[in-house]
Amino acid sequence: MQGFFSNALNPKTATFYLALLPQFAVVPGRVLIDSLALGGVHFVISFVWLALLSGLAGRGRHLFARPGTARALDAVAGAAFLGFSLRLALAER
């Protein structure tokens, strides 16, 4: 509920929808109806995506519960960051 109210009462979210959705209204006289329909489609797509993502995360959480997994992930991330920073440092301008 806290996430819902945080997002629903966020002025940036309202501004985004008010600025973006009317551009895709099909019939000029039905901007509100088309905007509500597009918002509903966005809600359904987001809900399905987040449900799938949380389901997969729930099924895979046992993989991250192993003792050495966090250390291995930290090592891989650290190596990637060192590689990126080395590449950036050696890049020609």
pLDDT band at 89 (very low <50, low <70, confident <90, very high): very high
Side-chain half-sphere CA neighbours of 29 within 13 A: 0
pLDDT band at 62 (very low <50, low <70, confident <90, very high): confident
Higher pLDDT, 12 or 83: 83
User: Has residue 93 got a pLDDT over 80?
Assistant: no
Question: What is the tens place of the pLDDT at every residue in 12-55?
Answer: 888 888 888 888 877 778 888 888 888 889 889 999 999 999 99
Q: Are 84 and 78 in contact (CB under 8 A)?
A: no
In one-letter notation, the amino acid at residue 84 is F
The pair of structure tokens assigned to 54 is: 């949380």
How do the domains of the chain map onto residue ranges?
A: 2-67
pLDDT at 47: 92
pLDDT at 65: 78
